[in-house]
Structure 1
């Protein structure tokens, strides 16, 4: 049956969760993030003794969605506290934050997102690309002598060349 719920579900699924933030980020910001990633991989190709430390750092890195959610929760709570203790108009702040979160959930974009991306916050997929490239440099995926560990092959494998 084709009804409003079906239309809504289709609209929600139009943007793949894994790529929606990147698709809605300005190309120059994506390019800068990719260039920085490419340079880091080149650095670690020449300094493999630091790969383990970088992988630990990546385990603790917050992706842009997590930062957005944490900030939204913080500002929403702030609006509730200020609304109950200072002025009821602050409740509107919590409503605005909720609207931004809903917009992000449906469309993959909300007003704070470009700011966070310009500040260098990456998507989970971008963080994983670096993790896989570093693991490949370290030799985690080498199963036979026929598999190369060279930089160009690794950059191609993670979509940077």
Structure 2
């Protein structure tokens, strides 16, 4: 399948290796190809419901950093700087994520396969296109051609 996810505006994609991005993209491509072969559109609808609940990169990083910061505050014995330092570092990473859209925690989460909101939305739009929600996707050409057209259409602004 031709390359379809070419956004340079996605901070999550800009700060990690192409290998990580390709691995995440390949998972989406496999899913969209599989869904393009489904005759029953309710299968796509059920999968879309799951995508609505998927946590994006920012949410994962914010929850993780907040949890570490909170644990640092709660567990820290009085006059112990080590746990407070852990909480401070976590808060700093949370601030960095909020300001720049990326932090070292994002790199770890990306390597674990966590996707940005934009990447999740691209998959959702591609699947909605396959389901027939949009008019731009051809019905001829087989599942692979339809999957590719759906991914490209979802990427278009």
TM-score, normalised via structure 1 length: 0.78
**When the two structures are aligned, how many residues end up with a matched partner?**
140
Q: 2:13 aligned with 1:22, yes or no?
A: yes
* In structure 2, C-alpha distance between the alignment counterparts of 1:56 and 1:30, rounded to whole Å: 24
Query: For residues 117 and 48 of structure 1, do their structure 2 counterparts lie closer, same or farther at Cα, with a shift above 3 Å needed?
Result: farther
Equivalent residue of 2:76, what SS?
helix
Please list the CA deviations of residues 66-99 of structure 1 after superposition, one character each: whole Å capped at 9, or x if unmatched: 0000111111110000124693431111110111
Which of 4, 15, 34 is residue 25 of structure 2 equivalent to? 34
Q: Deviation per CA, 1:3-45, whole angstroms, max 9, x where unpaired?
A: xxxxxxxxxxxxxxx6112211211101111111111000000
Relative distance call for 1:27 and 1:131 in structure 2 (3 A) is same
Q: Is 1:70 matched with 2:63?
A: yes
> Contact 2:66–2:94 at 8 Å: present in 1 too?
no
The separation in 2 between residues aligned to 1:116 and 1:95, in whole angstroms, is 20
Superposition CA RMSD, Å = 2.2
Mind listing any 5+ residue stretches in structure 1 that lack a counterpart?
1-17
Q: C-alpha separation between the residues in 2 aligned to 1:86 and 1:44?
A: 57
Residue aligning to 1:158? 154
Q: Given the superposition, is the C-alpha separation of residues 153 and 147 from structure 1 closer, same or farther in structure 2, using an over 3 Å criterion?
A: closer
Residue 107 (str. 1) matches residue 85 (str. 2): no
Q: Check conservation: 1:48, 1:138, Cα contact below 8 A.
A: no
> Separation in 2 of the partners of 1:92 and 1:114?
21
1:27, 1:89 → 2: CA distance? 36
Partners of 1:158 and 1:97 in 2: CA distance: 35
Confirm whether residue 51 of structure 1 aligns to residue 47 of structure 2: no
